[in-house]
Chain A
Amino acid sequence: MLGEGLLKGLGETARNFAGSFVSKERLTTVQYPEEREPLPEASRAFPFLVYDGADWEAGLRCVACQICEKECPPKCIYIEKSKDKKPDYVGKPQIYPAKFDIDISVCMSCQICVEVCPFEAIKMDNQFELATDDRFGGLLYDRKELARSNEYYHKIHPTEAAEVDARLAEEKAKAEEKAKAVAAAAAAKAAPAMAAKPAEGAQPQ
């Protein structure tokens, strides 16, 4: 009969209308600025640089290897290597980024820089409210603006950060062990010669 489908449709909207008052499922709206849905842990927005310790400049994990710069699909990362070296988390002297800029307005949040980074130095933030009225410089972040503490990383991605920390700790332990072993070996090697050449043995590898 003509009109049957129309009545069925009317029934459906009526059900939804009534349902929106009683069922959360039928009224999924969240009043955004006031209430926010918790972001899933994996949620990603734009990259940041992780640093350990309190001093962001000293603690940056980045060693300016430039892999992320090379791999970034839209080429939004710009790195300048430093001339001098400073010790990294293992204590090994490393080059550090004299300049590390990310143009957030170009970045497409693909996470490839995070994947390729061998030093766990760059991670994805979940901060997405970055709107600014400065067209040119407002979204061009330098090293300082990009630096976030490891604690912050733990806060936004707890599981992942714990894994990373464990891995780093393991690496560090390994490196220390190795360094110790090397030192021991060197010491052992140096011991007979110590008498002959004391100055040489004191120098680290």
Chain B
Amino acid sequence: MTNMLDQVFVLLKHRIVGLVPMPVQPILGAVLSVVAILAVFPGLFAISVLLERKGLGRMQNRIGPNRVGPLGVLQPVADGIKALIKEDLVPYSADHVVHFLAPVVLVVVVFMGYAVLPMGRNMTFVPMDAGLLFYFAMGASAELSIFMAGWSSRNKYSLLGAMRAVAQMISYEVPLLLSSVVIVMMTGSLSLDKIVEVQNQYTWGLPHWFVFTPMGFAAFVMFAIAATAETNRSPFDLPEGESELVAGYFTEYSGFKFAEFFLGEYVAMLSISGLGATLFLGGWSAPLEILNVVPSWFWFFAKIMVWICFYIWMRGTFPRLRQDQLMNFAWKFVLPMTLLNLLVAGLWRFMGEGWLRWVVCSAILLAAYVLGGRIGMRSKKFGPRSYRYAE
């Protein structure tokens, strides 16, 4: 029974595909998967927008949207309709073709990333051998569309925002890749399905997630930071820092094209959360052995949503960094830490089983983190201050 529930979507797909003649079957299968992805993730996008607005509201002691539908749950629908019926304005001097293509490319590329994410047991769209590489290739292509958007608008703010966004995404791509490489080293595979399989084991009912190893945890933290920057989320949301750049690269977009950017941004967020969950949090594997009765896809989506909630939480709390600080942080702190993490992962591999490697690896990483943070703060001359008073 639990197995049935677990595989319900797979079986459903097989059943539907079985209805058509043999030669059409692979095409129909692909179409079904694409349709499923195109249906589920925009739905999740709507949910996460609502969660974000409600959650931010609660964090700020507000209620958030509550007028459309019961408790405002239909707000994303209203927003969507509004975006659709809005006039589509294109600046006179804009490069119309590129201006039109930019959001399309973004959305397409972002959705491509989902092809390799294992969303449940046997629920990978294209179980690819080099899945991780594919994912990063798609992520890298998104930068181009952002540049296209910023450049084609012929607006200083747009261009500045796009340049910032692209520079930031390139810089954080490096730590993002390198922190994932740790996982590749530990599993010996670029295939995301394999990575989940390795993590889907239990000792005393506890899972073998990579986040529970020293370098896995460090990589997780670095990955989370880099993923936040990669998706231009607060506190790394300078490309759209409204206090300086109005709205960044999509300043000149309106109506449906703007909605596409918005969708692209959130879908990218969801997909990178999915990747993070797959790499470090065991993908679709249950957090406890006894919880395996719950379908695997539930765990995958639950992990994504937890990750999204964390994004929202951060957005509600932090101010944003400045461009040069962001770059410094990427190149001078995150990158060295990920490189060290690679070394530690190698060390882990060669130290053999036992508690010693836990202690050594954790100690190295912790010391490096504390030291690095201390040095970084000291060299930038910032830190807590004390104040004097005049009577």
Q: Does A205 contact B (CB under 8 A)?
A: no
- Which B residues between 352 and 391 are near A, CB-CB below 8 angstroms? 369-370, 372-374, 376-377
Segment 43-58 of B: residues with Cβ below 8 Å from A: 55, 58
- Assuming A1-B373, A27-B61, is B55 touching A10 (CB within 8 A)? no
Q: Does B60 contact A (CB under 8 A)?
A: yes
Quick one: given A6-B318, A9-B318, A10-B313, are A16 and B59 in contact (CB under 8 Å)?
yes
The secondary structure that dominates the A interface is helix
- Is the C-beta of A12 less than 8 angstroms from some C-beta in chain B? yes
Asked if residues B61 and A20 are in contact (CB atoms below 8 Å), the reply is yes
> Are A29 and B314 neighbours in the complex by a CB distance under 8 Å?
no
Residues of B in contact with A, size category: 20 to 34
Q: Which residue of A lies closest to B67 (CB)?
A: A31
The smallest C-beta distance from B217 to any residue of chain A, in angstroms, reads 14
Contact of A29 with B317 at beta-carbon distance under 8 Å, contacts A2-B373, A17-B55 already known: no
A3 CB contacts on chain B under 8 angstroms: 373
Instruction: Determine whether B63 belongs to the interface, using a CB cutoff of 8 Å to chain A.
Output: yes
**Residues of B25-84 whose CB lies within 8 A of A:** 55, 58-63, 66
A13 interface residue (CB < 8 Å to B): yes
CB distance from A125 to the nearest CB of B (A): 29
Q: Would A16 and B61 count as touching, CB distance under 8 A?
A: yes
Give per-residue flags for A1-29: 1 if the beta carbon is below 8 A from chain B beta carbons, else 0. 11100100110111011011100001111
Give the Cβ gap from B110 to chain A, nearest Cβ, in Å: 28
B59/A13 in contact, CB under 8 A: yes
| Contact between A14 and B313, CB atoms less than 8 A apart | yes
With A1-B370, A2-B373, A20-B58 as known contacts, state yes or no: A29 contacts B318, CB within 8 Å: no
Q: Which residue in chain B gives the minimum CB-CB distance to A27?
A: B61
> Is B316 part of the binding interface, using a Cβ–Cβ cutoff of 8 Å?
yes
Tally A residues with Cβ within 8 Å of B.
19
Question: Do B314 and A10 touch (CB < 8 A)?
Answer: yes
B374: chain A residues at CB < 8 Å are 1-2
Measured CB to CB, the closest approach of chain B to A47, in angstroms, equals 34
With contact pairs A2-B369, A2-B372 given, residues A13 and B313 touching in the complex (Cβ less than 8 Å): yes
A14 to B60, CA, bound (A): 10
Does A13 contact B373, Cβ atoms closer than 8 Å? Answer: no
Contact of A13 among B63, B317, B376 (CB under 8 A): B317
Contact B318 A2 (CB under 8 A): no
Residues of B within 8 Å of A6, CB to CB, are: 317-318
Complex CA distance for A13 and B312, rounded to whole angstroms: 11
CB distance A2 to B377 under 8 Å?
A: yes
Which of A10, A14, A17 has most chain B Cβ within 10 Å?
A17
Query: What residues of A have a CB within 8 angstroms of the CB of B376 in the complex?
Result: 2
Chain A residues whose C-beta falls within 8 Å of the C-beta of B373 in the assembled complex:
1-3
Residue of B nearest to A30 (CB): B63
List of B residues within 8 angstroms of A13 by Cβ: 59, 313, 316-317
A3 to B59, alpha carbons, bound, how many Å? 20
Chain A residue nearest to B60 in the complex (CB): A16
Q: Which residues of B contact A17 (CB under 8 A)?
A: 55, 58-59, 313, 316
Interface residues of A in 175-189 (CB under 8 A from B): none
* From A12, A13, A20, A26, residue with most partner B Cβ within 10 Å: A13
Q: How far is the CB of B335 from chain A (nearest CB, A)?
A: 15
Q: Please name the residue on chain A nearest to B373 by beta carbon.
A: A2
Q: CB-CB < 8 A to A9: which residues of B?
A: 317-318
Shortest Cβ distance from residue B169 to the other chain A in the assembled complex, whole angstroms: 22
- Residues facing A in B67-107 (CB within 8 A) are none
Q: Could you say which residues of chain A place their CB within 8 Å of the CB of B66?
A: 31
Q: How far is the CA of A3 from the CA of B366 in the complex (A)?
A: 13
Which of chain B's residues 270-314 have a Cβ closer than 8 Å to chain A? 313-314
Partner of A29 from B55, B59, B63, B372 at Cβ < 8 Å? B63
**What residue in chain B is nearest A23 (Cβ atoms)?**
B61
21 A-B contact pairs sorted by A residue (CB < 8 Å):
A1-B369, A1-B373, A1-B374, A2-B369, A2-B370, A2-B374, A6-B318, A9-B317, A9-B318, A10-B314, A13-B313, A13-B316, A14-B59, A17-B58, A20-B58, A20-B59, A20-B61, A26-B61, A27-B58, A27-B63, A31-B63
Residues of A within 8 A of B (CB): 1-3, 6, 9-10, 12-14, 16-17, 19-21, 26-29, 31
Closest 10 CB pairs of A and B: A2-B373, A20-B58, A13-B317, A13-B59, A9-B317, A17-B59, A17-B58, A29-B63, A13-B316, A26-B61
Q: A17-B59, A27-B62 are in contact. List 15 more A-B contacts (CB 8 A).
A: A1-B369, A2-B369, A9-B317, A12-B317, A13-B313, A13-B317, A14-B59, A16-B60, A16-B61, A20-B59, A20-B61, A21-B58, A29-B62, A29-B63, A31-B63
